Amino acid sequence: MANDPMNQFKIETIVPLPPVAGVDISFTNSALYMVIGIALVIGFFMLTMKRQLVPGRMQSLGEMSYEFIADMVRDTTGPEAMKFFPFVFCLFFFILFANLVGMFPYAFTTTSHVAVTAAMAIFTILIVIVAGLWKNGFKWFKIFAPSGLPLPMYALIIPIEIISFLSRPITLAVRLFANMTAGHVMLKLFAIFAAFLVAKGGAVAGLAILPVLGTVALVALEFLVAGLQAFVFAILTCVYLNDVYHVDH
């Protein structure tokens, strides 16, 4: 088991549940870590809700998180998009905590599964489409046809715009999934290599220090990636939400 770097991504059933509409909804390690993730997010923000006039450390953290995402939504999309602020906030903290919890040894990283990241990405794009149509009606489709171009250009531009729009959920999903998967595979490979060198024994065992140092560096990098990918997902959501409010671009 320990020698397969893909084993860490294996879904294992913890509590089997009867399938609903043909879908196996058994409580798995993935579900467990999602529950742990949201419990940590909610617990963290419960600690920050003291509401003192002069904030303490935890309250400052909570308020900084709030301002960070609020500024992101305001600056990237505009003040009218503050309706979506709770959604972006949830996305950011769900992904951030899933990534960080996944950094613990033996923990499961829910965001390393393409099903999860694709579901979030498609849901985000559906929100953009539904909110855009709701707000602008059929005029919303003008986002695929930028104004002020010579007529023949539209034959080229409209398909490109449609493809770029449809590629958004794919890039959004794959970016997060691939980053998390690749990082964890790399960590596992370095660790396996170190174990392999130690198992060889003798002078070669001393060389194990190199992959161990590599693992340490990778852990630091992965913590960076954990935050960065959550940020990228959230800010791209804001950028895509822009299309709800600014049809003429």
Partner 1 sequence: MAEKATGYDAAEAASGGLPQLDISTWGGQIFWLVVTFAILYFALSRFILPRLGSGLTERSDRIADDLDAASRMQQDAEAAEAQYQSSLADARAKAHKINATTKSSVDAEIASEVEAAEAEFTRQSSAAEARIAKIRSEALRNIDDIAADTASEIVSKLSGMKVTAARAKTAVSKA
How many C-beta neighbours within 10 Å does residue 121 have? 25
Distance set, CA 20 to CA 8, 24, 25, 34 (Å): 27, 7, 7, 20
Sequence length of the chain is: 249
Q: How far is the CB of 241 from partner 1 (least distance, A)?
A: 16
How many C-beta neighbours within 10 Å does residue 48 have? 19
Minimum CB distance to partner 1 smaller for 160 or for 170? 170
Minimum CB distance to partner 1 smaller for 11 or for 204? 11
Minimum CB distance to partner 1 smaller for 37 or for 102? 37
Minimum CB distance to partner 1 smaller for 95 or for 235? 95
What is the Cα 89 distance to its own chain's centre?
A: 12
Minimum CB distance to partner 1 smaller for 129 or for 174? 174
In one-letter notation, the amino acid at residue 214 is G
Specify whether the CB–CB gap between 87 and 127 falls below 8 A.
yes
Q: How far is the CB of 126 from partner 1 (least distance, A)?
A: 13
Q: How far is the CB of 189 from partner 1 (least distance, A)?
A: 14
Q: How far is the CB of 144 from partner 1 (least distance, A)?
A: 22
Residue 184, both tokens: 């964890």
Minimum CB distance to partner 1 smaller for 172 or for 197? 172
CA–CA gap between residue 204 and residue 213 (Å, rounded): 16
Minimum CB distance to partner 1 smaller for 98 or for 197? 98
Q: How far is the CB of 15 from partner 1 (least distance, A)?
A: 11
Specify whether the CB–CB gap between 63 and 73 falls below 8 A.
no
Sequence-distant (≥ 6) Cβ neighbours of residue 124 within 8 angstroms: 91, 169, 172, 237, 240
Q: How far is the CB of 107 from partner 1 (least distance, A)?
A: 15
Residue 58, both tokens: 């935890």
Q: Contact positions toward partner 1, by CB under 8 A?
A: 6, 9-11, 20, 22-28, 30-31, 34-35, 37-38, 41-42, 45-46, 48-49, 51, 53, 59, 62-63, 66-67, 70, 85-87, 89-90, 93-94, 110, 112-116, 119-120, 170-171, 174-175, 177-178, 181
Q: How far is the CB of 202 from partner 1 (least distance, A)?
A: 31
State the DSSP code for 140.
G
How many C-beta neighbours within 10 Å does residue 82 have? 13
